[in-house]
Structure 1
Amino acid sequence: MFKVIQRSVGPASLSLLTFKVYASPKKDSPHKASVKVNELSLYSVPEGQSKYVEETRTPLEESISHLRRYCEPYTSWCQEMYSQTKPRMQSLVQWGLGSYEYFQNAPPGFFPRLGVIGFAGIVGLLLARGSKIKKLVYPPGFMGLAASLYYPQQAIVFVQPGNVKNSPGNK
């Protein structure tokens, strides 16, 4: 173990030393004139003619191109549907965030009222067994009746005819 440490410490300590190296031209090589900065290839554009040559397509590239042309109508349809549904989804998300804020800061007594109205809907669903029309009428009717007990002013406005906004007779 001690020999391994000795053999690794020597080269490692030499790497920490710094020294200068002076280079001189060979004695038998002819002395060249110094090169100017603008003559360096780094600062000048090499002269030459470039020509674009299109490579031939491989069978893999051909099959991918055929697949892309086949799928293009479907992808454009998906993009179109996404652009149509994106605003609706954003408004739905905003509505959900607004509802979440309302439920976080609900007025006192809101949740018990909501429970009674929901329970009335479940009772209506239980009483509507057997008939599809009853299932469509009883739950919303019972929920509306329970809601009108808690919110009478809004129920009166909802029931009165002629309270439709933007109707021609209501100016």
Structure 2
Amino acid sequence: MPAALSLTPTTVFAAAGDGQDEPTTSIHRDELSLYTAPPPPKYVEPEAGQLEESVATLRKVMEPYTDWCQGTYGKIKPKVQSVVRFGNDTYNFLKSPPKDFYPRAGVIAFTGVLGLFLGRGSRIKKLIYPTGMMTLTTSLYYPEQAAAIAKSTGDSVYERAVQTYAALEKTLKPEKNPEKVEEKDSESKP
């Protein structure tokens, strides 16, 4: 019902300001100024003040540095997360270690100190003796892990040795001259 009323013309009596009577005519309600919507206001951007301009200039100057920092953060973040994860795992492991872990760790550390004592004299001995003795003691306590590490290390050492041998053979042996090889082949054939 209200929608139908908005479509019907309505008679409006208005007094003229000069006292004359005008003939009444039917006009639509949308034609009255009372019912028309005002035009939407236009938004005017306020002018930037001195503080806003200096902040914008500072942002433009600092943009390359902030981009660099964000890129560096993106590269470093996974590494930091893995270190934190490793620290949490180590803490949880040491909080409830397996049976006989601390005595084994003590014996391994003692062999390292013993290796330092025996390796007095040269820097190479100070490096090789403690490392070798700790490795030997660790392999006695954890033979399965030591065997797996030795196998993977042995495979990689063998592969490197083959590559080194091939490179040395290639550089040390002189190339055969193809012309001389063909001459010998033709002389040997009757």
Q: TM-score, normalised by structure 2?
A: 0.51
> Which residue of the other structure, out of 93, 96, 103, is the alignment partner of 2:84?
93
Cα distance in structure 1, aligned partners of 2:116 and 2:55: 56
- Residues 59 and 108 (structure 1), Cα distance of their counterparts in 2 relative to 1, 3 Å cut: same
How many residues align? The count is 122
1:63-118 C-alpha deviation (Å, 9 max, x unpaired):
22121111111111111122222222223222222222222222211101111212
> Which residue of the other structure, out of 14, 38, 52, is the alignment partner of 1:47?
38
Cα RMSD over matched residues? 3.1
**SS of corresponding position for 2:102:** helix
Residues 125 and 135 of structure 1 are in contact (CA less than 8 Å); yes or no, is this contact kept in structure 2?
yes
1:103-122 to 2 correspondences below 5 Å: 103-122=94-113
Identity %: 46
Cα distance in structure 1, aligned partners of 2:123 and 2:58: 49
- Residues 85 and 48 (structure 1), Cα distance of their counterparts in 2 relative to 1, 3 Å cut: same
Q: CA deviation at 1:130?
A: 6.2
Moved segments of 4+, more than 3 Å: 46-49, 122-136, 160-165
Unaligned stretches of 5+ residues in structure 2 = 1-36, 160-190
Q: CA deviation at 1:59?
A: 2.4
Residue of structure 1 equivalent to 2:133: 142
The one-letter amino acid of 1:115's match is G
Q: TM-score, normalised by structure 1?
A: 0.56
Of stretches 69-78 and 90-99 in structure 1, the one that deviates more from structure 2 is 90-99
Residues 124 and 138 of structure 1 are in contact (CA less than 8 Å); yes or no, is this contact kept in structure 2?
yes
Name the larger-Rg structure: 2
Bigger RCO of structures 1 and 2 (CA < 8 A, at least 6 apart)? 1
